[in-house]
Chains A and B, each alone.
Chain A
């Protein structure tokens, strides 16, 4: 017990002023459902916008949104951006929009994955192309190696050919069950559509995207080409880019060419129409260059189907 007692009458002397704002926690974030509420104050998000990263896409990814709000741009993200810039990735904003998970991965690990690609003999130009068009940096070295190895075995490719395929369509790596899909497509084409192993290999080297389509898409288009348009396997293998387009386009255009007597797919005779000309290009180009009629007639014809 102290001797000195403060009586009720004595005023309390305080040296410091009581500031209620100091006592409260600095900022209370209510739960927000979009980056739009934070973007004006958050430096990191602001800089990501300056990089043209589409935050409306990024915020939907699990785990990333929380990380981005809390992180320091200079410390956690800038090194990754610099890493990508050094690799000559085209359009970093778009790349980060699709592969924002990359900021969660260690730089050393990324370097490791990059070194794997380099060790496999890819040229630096190809490496930047592969990286900017696929999610290969987000995958383990082991799984990438396994996928490429299986691909090589499946089609008995040489090392150079594997590199060629991957450089042509880096998106081949994006499919989660890529090997399974390719296996399924290969089986389907071999057993049901009647392509030989060598033919499939030439297709893979020419247009690897062929094996990323669904088997039903392939068989639908093949059925139309082979049974209706009466084109043999050899010609189809040569023009495998036809499988890029939809059945509707091929069907409409072929029927229209039949009507105007221009459906002639034999290169040795006159008035030859190549598959590239048949499938690619807008309707205007097709009507002007291939069918040699007006666009209106083509649309009028579609109304008779």
Chain B
């Protein structure tokens, strides 16, 4: 996508997109970097009257000695009678940091990596709706048997070394199944219904039982071992309202249950509801053009049918939210 004017690009900068945060990068740093990249690309476009392109101006800048000494001031290819004050050389950059609003849904901590959904511009108003949907997140958690640290993270102080040769894949699978089944009971509790009641039955018949709000303790829906290569192993965990500390604790407990110890070495979010790795932009792609292209990619995932699953509205009955596909790009949900 090419733009002739910066304001045209700025007008388009309004939507939901998806990034892949690398590990060892603080989320606030990632946010700042995206903002700076957007500003860099916006300001590189013509912002003021009579500006052509930053490359044209650059080539105009080189002057010979004669030009500078003899005919001052040099008029450019612009009319003589112009307001000089409205100029990049006087007013500086057209777009500054406070012009861009950029916020995430469920950001990740420094040491974890993965998909983060973000909104820019007016679409920031859409983010609470996405948060309310309580999407299921899928994580790939790597762990390593044989050691324990004081704060469960691989960078902590090692306090114990253990043997792990007695661990087998079936044993690990068994523990994973136990974790999963324990959380089955918790689902109803956090959803705010009584176990075995009519209400619970109705809730369960509709599909996934989601917790009532985003403040409940973590709920785990599935734990599978997808890679087993002693001493390393990788678990795929489906959960809602999780935190990194919770996973680190989980891996530690898992190690203890297997009569060994384990440390969580990597936390990676591979899916956030309908937003997958296919949607996400890696750090080299965090620029204006890729982000604007990404709005279109993420837009189908914001359909009310997908967005209202977490809220208690019965979507079949609510004709109010029906939007014709592709035609209306305004987010009606903002008004609700």
Give me the interface of A with B, judged by CB distance under 8 Å: 34-37, 39-40, 46-47, 49-57, 78, 81-82, 85-86, 88, 90-94, 248, 283, 299-300, 302-303, 305
Contact = CB atoms under 8 A, between A and B. Distances in A.
A302 B284 contact: yes
20 contacts: A36-B86, A37-B85, A39-B84, A46-B84, A49-B84, A50-B72, A52-B60, A54-B89, A54-B92, A56-B91, A56-B92, A81-B69, A88-B65, A91-B62, A94-B61, A299-B284, A300-B277, A302-B22, A303-B280, A303-B282
B90 interface: yes
A36 B91 contact: yes
B265 interface: no
Pairs of residues from A and B, 5 with the lowest C-beta to C-beta distance, nearest first: A50-B73, A56-B92, A302-B282, A36-B85, A85-B65
Contacts of B295: none
A93 B61 contact: yes
Given A46-B73, A93-B61, A303-B277, A55 B68 contact: no
B89 A82 contact: no
Given A46-B84, A47-B72, A49-B90, A302 B283 contact: yes
Nearest to B87: A49
Q: Is the interface of A mostly helix, strand, loop or mixed?
A: helix
Interface string B266-310: 000000000001001011110000000000000000000000000
B260 interface: no
B73 A39 contact: no
A139 B201 CA distance: 81
B20 interface: yes
A286 to B, nearest CB: 10
Interface of B: 20, 22-23, 60-63, 65, 68-69, 72-75, 83-93, 113, 277, 280, 282-285
Contacts of B69: 81-82, 85
Q: Is the interface of B mostly helix, strand, loop or mixed?
A: loop
Contacts of A51: 68, 72-73
Contacts of A93: 61
A85 B65 CA distance: 6
A51 B60 CA distance: 11
A39 B73 CA distance: 14
A46 B68 CA distance: 14
B56 to A, nearest CB: 13
Contact of A305 (B23, B60, B93): B23
Contacts of A283: 284
Given A49-B84, A81-B68, 16 more contacts: A39-B90, A46-B73, A49-B73, A49-B89, A49-B90, A50-B72, A50-B73, A55-B90, A56-B89, A56-B92, A56-B93, A85-B68, A283-B284, A299-B284, A302-B20, A302-B284
B188 to A, nearest CB: 35
B83 A40 contact: yes
A35 B113 CA distance: 46
A303 B280 CA distance: 8
A143 to B, nearest CB: 30
A211 to B, nearest CB: 26
Nearest to B140: A304
Contact of A35 (B60, B90, B282, B283): B90
A302 B93 CA distance: 33
Contacts of B87: 39, 49
A66 to B, nearest CB: 17
Contact of B89 (A53, A78, A303): A53
Contacts of B113: 305
B44 to A, nearest CB: 15
B210 to A, nearest CB: 27
Contact of A39 (B72, B85, B280): B85
A16 B276 CA distance: 86
A64 B89 CA distance: 16
A59 B233 CA distance: 59
Most A CB contacts (10 A, CB to CB) among B73, B74, B93, B113 go to B73
B237 to A, nearest CB: 17
